[in-house]
Amino acid sequence: MTADVLPQLTAKVRAAAHPDAAPGHCTCGTATLADRPDTTVLRHAETVAKAHAPATDPTTLTHRLATAAALPDVFLPPLAPAPAAFVDDRPVTLWPYGAPVDPDAPQAAPWEAAATLLALLHRTPPTPAAPPMRGPVKAALAMARLREALAGTGAHPAAPPVLRAWSALPPWARAEAPMPGPRTLCHGDLHLGQLVRHPAPDGPWRLIDVDDLGVGVPAWDLARPASWYACGLLPPDEWTRFLTAYRAAGGPAVPEDGDPWPALDVPARSLTVQTGARYLAKAIAAERPLDEVEQSLIDACARMAPE
């Protein structure tokens, strides 16, 4: 964020948390929950404000907010039905605070809850105004950032496997063609960081982040855990918990029983390439070697599209 935007967003979240208070009355601190080029999230008391990415279309975002508000058993409902303000032409949305997944307690990861929420979402009929799910678009953006990083360095030995694996994907998974059917409502960027308990700290789990919400291939929402399982980064018992819970809740992305991989193959490969590209671009920018997890994604890309 530019230096003048963070104070503006701080003022807006403080005002939203205490709409009737006199300026300067509240002495609560404001915490930065995320601050990236595409997103800044601040918390003040029990209110959270999110400044969305530049060029976010407010009308499309409003449709996504309406979907979340209409599904309070799936999503954390927004505090306002439309962007509540703008900062530097970036729409700002307001949310109640929810307690996130504890990154230091992986054994308590809510895989069953995540799977059940996805199944409920996928079974919800989309409205005619629902926009496309942005998963393939985000994958294409990750590849664009990798190419930008490579343009500044000339080459990197880990890049060819990622580029070959990307080229081997079907056009729809590269955001170059419409997604195939049948399509459902999808989250579009599912990972454990997209779940919170509300009311905090012990309320039911709910999904957050509507930026990629829309109509698309439901298997995309299962693709990140599927990718990490296939790469050896997610233990088999945790993958089994997730998949079993999704099926038990009637999720339509995979068959009720039998081999799920015909449905998961393309989305899982896409998320593997997307994550590998993102990790590699960051490593190039920091001029550092890949760590063990990052290398495992590159190795997976090499297996997907050998020379």
Taking only the tens place, the pLDDT of each residue in 161-187 is 999 999 999 999 999 999 999 999 999
Which stretches of the chain drop beneath a pLDDT of 50? Answer: 1-3
Instruction: Report yes or no: 152 and 159 within 8 Å, Cβ to Cβ.
Output: no
pLDDT of residue 241: 97
pTM, to two decimals: 0.93
pLDDT of residue 246: 98
CB-count burial class (<10 Å; 0-12, 13-18, 19+) for 14: buried
Q: Is the peptide bond before 132 cis (omega within 30 degrees of 0)?
A: no
Q: Is the peptide bond before 199 cis (omega within 30 degrees of 0)?
A: yes
Q: For 74-111, what is each residue's pLDDT tens digit?
A: 999 999 999 988 998 899 999 999 999 998 887 889 99
| Structural domains of the chain, with CATH | 5-97 (3.30.200.20), 106-304 (3.90.1200.10)
pLDDT of residue 25: 63
pLDDT of residue 20: 67
pLDDT of residue 1: 43
**Tokens for 14?**
């403080």
pLDDT of residue 38: 86
